[in-house]
Structure 1
């Protein structure tokens, strides 16, 4: 009796496994075709689709404020925006290294900075963007420092990682069946302009921090940043550090803001890197060009990108500028 029960129980457990593995494979392979906001850029990186001369690296302040259309048009080049929403330099550095691993080396990297670049968040933000790649040990390593990091079951048990992810399951299956993405986001090489007006949340933030706030500099992130500077130097990649405009009233809230800017300035001087600081740019004085205190809206981003391109030409020698030029068909 016991033997029969064990046999039936084993069949009940084992028989669905091929189906589970097959469905898991189909979802994952379908998501590798995705163009949604979580996966589009990672898929471009890992499928070696980025042939760009200029990388824009940074947080959401890179993603929503640096127009690849304008950069390509003004500099006659091919740029790609690697900006990651919600993550500071440590994760930005991982994405950049993956881009360099799978794609041709760019001529120039524009690293976008802000007051919290050298800190690190505690939680695994928008974890969905990593789910199809959990067979890659480097992804596991890059996410292990965050709360909510992936557990053994998510990594090894078929379908477990997609639990409660109905949107990704549906998209993955559709993509796999049709062998093309079913979700197309209207973004150009990860640039995601925000056609929004001032949202008013700054007043709430200001009221909640009457004494201001200190920007924390994490020593691990600082060490990674220094390693990044040395890597660009060793690989002969032209590096530009940029602090984009932020709303002027916000700047006084960060009590150690001057020390943060001074730190970036010192790094730039030590490595002989241009540091373009737009803290006092005229855009910073008008809410018209922002949708919140730290992010330019579409109108502001396009004005700023044009200014950035003009300034970039004054910080690059003629040989470097010439090396950035590509034919229109290769963009």
Structure 2
């Protein structure tokens, strides 16, 4: 093939590529806008449900991972204290997601008198080690590019960083990546009708109480031994500076909105709470340095009753109700 023919063929190829870009990019851009306007209605995802709350006034909010989401009953607390609360806890969420969630909650015009943050030892480990999927990025795609604060959290929690830039600059890339979460048919037809007007999370004001006991006696003994060994490892006791700083940012963000901050650690089944003093001494230091009241309830009396636990770190419905009432009385007596 002559050089002239090669140049001619290459020129044709470039024209096809250019035509593809010219045609596809506007379509992808429009698809991106459409998806971003629809995915916010996918209220079976807890972060989406939280973001749907706007211009509300709350006496308190619970923030944290599943041990906030499942271990605290907002309805029982409200009944006892005659308050209006909300549970912002999300399963397997690390401090960066908690920070982003809280920031958006405030941006949506909501106010909170008291923020109660559930703090765990593994929350200070690198999120990729502590949790299976610590940052629910797919729930916040529609917020990319809205603020430098949001983008900075995305960039820091989207490995590799190159993926962040693709999501940020290439229209529809992010939704195509998660087509299992956002099938085109569901986005187009179902997201506005997936739940009753009163969404499932509304029934517990954001809390989800677990039923029964997940572990058999054999599983309980096995996981107890594994947890005891883990509680003495240096990696478990280590504090990731970025996670510590993120928790402090949560405190600063709340105070910037005139919100009082409280830390607590909910019960863990004995002996899962062994070595707790060593594991949580850095939380004491953070709380003291930032003038935050810290309720250490990992060894609360409910921790002695296996019948009140779903697994080693999560209370079941009966346990969550019992703990919530004890915790509320502790707060009331501390005023």
Band of TM-score, shorter chain: 0.7 to 0.9
Of 221, 224, 227, which residue of structure 1 is paired with 2:246?
Answer: 224
User: Is structure 2 residue 69 aligned with structure 1 residue 55?
Assistant: no
Cα deviations by residue, 1:113-139 (Å, 9 ceiling, x for unpaired): 222233331365443222332233433
Cα deviations by residue, 1:4-47 (Å, 9 ceiling, x for unpaired): 665455334322333332222222211122212254235225xx
Cα deviations by residue, 1:89-129 (Å, 9 ceiling, x for unpaired): 34323322332333243111111122223333136544322
8 Å CA contact retained: 2:50, 2:88: no
Residue equivalent to 1:131: 141
Greater fraction helix: 2
8 Å CA contact retained: 1:24, 1:158: yes
The change in CA–CA distance for 1:12 and 1:76 in structure 2 (over 3 A counts) is same
| Superposed displacement of residue 267, structure 1 | 4.3
Q: Output the CA distance in 1 between the equivalents of 2:224 and 2:283.
A: 25
Residue equivalent to 1:193: 209
The alignment yields a C-alpha RMSD, in angstroms, of: 2.9
Residue equivalent to 2:27: 19
User: Is structure 2 residue 293 aligned with structure 1 residue 274?
Assistant: yes
8 Å CA contact retained: 2:115, 2:262: yes
8 Å CA contact retained: 1:56, 1:110: yes
How does 1:60-79 map onto structure 2 within 5 Å?
60-79=66-85
Name the count of aligned residue pairs: 308
Q: Identify unmatched segments of 5+ residues in structure 1.
A: 317-331
TM superposition outliers: structure 1 runs of 4+ over 6 Å:
none
How does 1:266-305 map onto structure 2 within 5 Å?
266-305=285-324
| Superposed displacement of residue 288, structure 1 | 1.3
| Superposed displacement of residue 211, structure 1 | 3.6
The change in CA–CA distance for 1:11 and 1:52 in structure 2 (over 3 A counts) is same
Of 168, 175, 184, which residue of structure 2 is paired with 1:155?
Answer: 168
Residue equivalent to 2:5: none
The change in CA–CA distance for 1:132 and 1:259 in structure 2 (over 3 A counts) is same
8 Å CA contact retained: 2:97, 2:134: no
Q: Output the CA distance in 1 between the equivalents of 2:13 and 2:102.
A: 54
8 Å CA contact retained: 1:244, 1:279: yes
Q: Output the CA distance in 2 between the equivalents of 1:4 and 1:121.
A: 48
User: Is structure 2 residue 30 aligned with structure 1 residue 30?
Assistant: no
Which 10-residue stretch deviates more, 154-163 or 265-274?
265-274
Q: Output the CA distance in 2 between the equivalents of 1:35 and 1:187.
A: 9
User: Is structure 2 residue 97 aligned with structure 1 residue 85?
Assistant: no
Q: Output the CA distance in 2 between the equivalents of 1:231 and 1:21.
A: 33
8 Å CA contact retained: 1:71, 1:309: yes
8 Å CA contact retained: 2:59, 2:85: yes
User: Is structure 2 residue 237 aligned with structure 1 residue 215?
Assistant: yes
8 Å CA contact retained: 1:116, 1:216: no
SS at match of 2:62: strand
8 Å CA contact retained: 2:227, 2:272: no
Q: Output the CA distance in 2 between the equivalents of 1:152 and 1:230.
A: 28
Cα deviations by residue, 1:279-324 (Å, 9 ceiling, x for unpaired): 33221112211111111112211221122222222123xxxxxxxx
Residue equivalent to 2:265: 243
The change in CA–CA distance for 1:91 and 1:43 in structure 2 (over 3 A counts) is closer
Q: Output the CA distance in 2 between the equivalents of 1:9 and 1:273.
A: 58
The change in CA–CA distance for 1:39 and 1:172 in structure 2 (over 3 A counts) is farther
